[in-house]
Amino acid sequence: MSSPNPFPPPSSRSTRRVSKWGDRIFAAVTGVAAALVIGILIAYVVALYYGAKTSIDLFGFRFLTTQVWDDTHGIYGVVPFAAGTLLTSAVALVIAVPLSLAAAVFLTQQAPPWLRAPVGQLIELLAAIPSIIFGLWGLIVLVPIMRYDVDPFLQSALGWTGWFNGSPTGLDVLTASVVLAVMIIPTITSISRDTVAAVPISQKEAALSIGATDWEVTRHAVLPYARAGIFASIVLGLGRALGETMAVTLVIGNTNAIPTSLFSPGQTISTLLANQFFEAVNATERAALIEAGLVLLVITLLVNVVARGILSRFQRGRGVGLE
């Protein structure tokens, strides 16, 4: 005759009660975390708005259209710095995206297995290098190369386009864009590599079965399937380029003027804040600098919202919905 179990199993009712309370606690904790993230963003916007209120009240919409930043006469406009921010980021993407996609495709499609892991780890290691190191590399190594070799060649070959006019100094928008491109290549390459590697093998085998070459498989079967992830990697790289400060400050030339060519010195909003915030001589200038930071935040948010819409369209085209 068996002895009674001293530890009887819990009743189904008590199990359901514990599970119900556990679900409630879990939902509450995750909800608070999500609300906290949104609250931090709202706090940023509110803090910047009240810090910039003097400038907003004084200059109004003119702050977004004025092309002059003159401390002496108290005239402040964000146009030169917004133009520098967008131009350097756009040129950096033009340089970085083809290189990053080529590297991602090579690592997933062409590289031998023994080479993929070491090269992939080296690329990811680049993302961990502090930005000031990139800036020093740009100032010490890249600036002389651009001034004496690259810039004169581009001017002689492509000067007719108008993008390469002026006197090459090496401290200009083009050099800053090259530094930014080097900084965002690891981000775009790593995410694109993971996305391309996740393409189902059936996609590739189906293309190969009808006689497609490696290039045709990549172009027609791999890249279209992975385009949503590739686009997301580009957006992340763009986000870093828009907000980068120290590396750009060292090589862009730091001139308060709209760049007229890629050989022109300029400034981004981030470099403006780094160079002048602690040297602001009055409350109005300080408020104008904070408003410039608010403009940068708005630009970044708009870029991400537009990118989110495009990414959602890509995924709907593939039959995948976004929550």
* Mean pLDDT over the full length of the chain: 84
C-alpha distances (whole Å) from 85 to each of 179, 248, 309 are: 14, 10, 22
Q: How far apart are the first and last CA of the chain?
A: 58
pTM of the model: 0.84
> Of how many residues is the chain composed?
323
pLDDT of amino acid 8: 55
Residue boundaries of the structural domains of the chain: 21-51, 78-271+297-317
Express each pLDDT in 136-192 by its tens digit: 999 999 999 999 999 899 988 888 888 888 888 889 999 999 999 999 999 899 888
CATH number assigned to the domain covering 78-271+297-317: 1.10.3720.10
Res. 281 pLDDT band, cuts 50 70 90: confident
**pLDDT band, residue 5 (cuts 50/70/90):** low
pLDDT digits (tens, 9 = 90+) for 305-314: 887 777 777 6
What does the pLDDT read at residue 204? 78
The 10s digit of each residue's pLDDT in 204-240 is 778 777 877 777 788 888 888 888 888 888 988 888 8
CB-count burial class (<10 Å; 0-12, 13-18, 19+) for 134? buried
